[in-house]
Structure formats: structure tokens, C-alpha cells
Amino acid sequence: MATYVIGDVQGCFASLQKLLEACAFQAGEDMLWFVGDLVNRGPESLQTLYFVRDLGERAIVVLGNHDLHLLGVWAGHRQFHHTDTLAPVLEAPDCDALMHWLRHRRIAHFEHGVLMVHAGVWPGWSLEDTLRHAQELEAALRSPDYARVFAQLYGSTPAQWSDELAGAERLRAMTNVFTRMRFCRPDGELDFHHKGRLGSAPPPLLPWFDVPGRKTAGLPIVCGHWSALGLYLREDLLALDTGCLWGGKLTALRLDDRRLFQVDCPGVRSPKK
């Protein structure tokens, strides 16, 4: 049995199928981990969701910002954006059942000595902190009161984590760390403006994984979210968003031996400038 970690699919289902063929994926034996952003902006979000859901226990999914956006639109607390390609999902006859499945996916997953999240881990959190906060956010998203949670989940404040945060601000801060973070200040305050390549943000901003004193330094973390970062591999970081949506590649990494598999993608959006 092999475990493959898949970068941001974003509704590019045809590319996902090509990638699984390249991996020689065995549906009854192998595991697939998805780093989040299964949906949106690509043409086949509905097919992607059906496929991953039907894998059952063979698939582990952490939620990304686009997945949460879809859930927020469905729950009536997010505006449909002109670049969204989510209408087929929202118009599907079994949309509600599919969305209840999606909101029960994970925020973080730790197995085989590897931590998977969508965007990153706040520099001041240990592994234990990270898993505890992920479970707290998961519980809120899975609760019967989920509609109220989605009503309060979105926004860029507070930008700094504190253990003293409570209520909506606490959930929002955790959501932003797990699903939106790229650059931080040295004290861990999140920056929501800069999304470019390494070195593109002005001082003192740093990529979250290079903040001095990060408590998860040395722990292998696999993530996506940051297409401008692209494929970025080192002992403690496996960043796999290789811009499939923009005509880049879709990437899988086999955890057992860290072998990479990639397929070229046609691109359904104009490349980012």
C-alpha cells in the first residue's frame, strides 16, 4: 500500500485522473491525501467531489480556503464571486448531502510522522497545539449550529493569534492560519496582502515556515495553497501547489519514498502575473 499526497486540484478533475494514472494508483489498496482546495475555478468541481467522496476511507482531505468558500456560499453567508465555478455543485440534486460530507473533512492530519494542512502552521504552535486547534475548528464546522459558524468565519481580523481569543474571533484566527497564511511578521502576525514568490514581500515579512523560533521546525509538513511558491521541498516542508489551474502541473508525492509524480495541465485561467 502506498500513500500519495495530491496538491491543489481546484476542480481540475481530468488532470487528477491523468495524475493517478501516472502514479499507477490502486483504488482498493493505496491511500490519497489531499492538501485542500478540491474545488473552484476549475471546470469539474462536482466530479472531483464525487470521486473523492466515493473513495471513502481511502482518501484523507483537509479543507482549504476554496472549500470553505463553497461551504459559506451554500450556507448563505458568502457572496458568489465572478470567478467561481461552483454552480454545478450548488445546483446538484444531492448538494446538501455533499456539503454535509465536505464540512466533516479535516483541518489537519498527522500520520506517518507527517503533518498535513492546507496553508501552514502558526509559528508559535507546537504539533500538539496545532492538532488541538484543528480539532476545535473541526468540531465547530461539524456542529448542528454550523450555519452560525459560517456566518462568523470570514475576515482578516484578528491577524495575530492569542490563546486568549474566544468565540468567533478565535475560530476566524484559526481558519486564517490553516487556510490562508503565506507571509508573517517575525512575531507571527499574518499578512493577507502579499501572495507572490519567495523574496517578493517587503521586510520584515517572512514566509511562515521561515519565522525564527517556529515550534514545528524539523517536523515534515505537507501543504498547498501557495501557487506562486510552487513546488518547494526540503526536509521539513513539502509544498505541492504547482499551479494546475494556471496551466502549471498537478503534483503527487508518494510519502513512502518521497518520489514525485507530475502531469502537465492545460490551464483554465490566465497565468498569474
Question: Which CATH number fits the domain that encloses residue 254?
Answer: 3.60.21.10
Per-residue confidence band for 267, with pLDDT thresholds at 50, 70 and 90: confident
Residue 246 is assigned to a structural domain of this protein: yes
Average pLDDT, the chain: 96
Residue 242: inside a domain: yes
Q: Considering the domain boundaries, does residue 203 fall inside one?
A: no
Q: Which structural domain range is residue 144 located in?
A: 3-155+215-264
| Interval 119-146 mean pLDDT | 98
Q: Is residue 181 part of a domain?
A: no
Q: What is the mean pLDDT of residues 205-220?
A: 98
Total domain count, the chain: 1
Q: Above 80 in pLDDT, residue 32?
A: yes
State the average pLDDT over residues 103-121.
98
Task: Give the model's pLDDT for residue 273.
Answer: 42
Domain for residue 190, yes or no?
no
Instruction: Flag whether pLDDT at 270 surpasses 70.
Output: no
- For residue 248, what are the contacts with CB-CB under 8 A and spacing of at least 6? 227, 230, 242, 265, 267
pLDDT tens per residue, range 40-96: 999 999 999 999 999 999 999 999 999 999 999 999 999 999 999 999 999 999 999
194 in a domain, yes or no? no
- Structure confidence at residue 210 (pLDDT): 98
Does residue 231 lie within any of the structural domains? yes
Q: Does 56 map to a domain?
A: yes
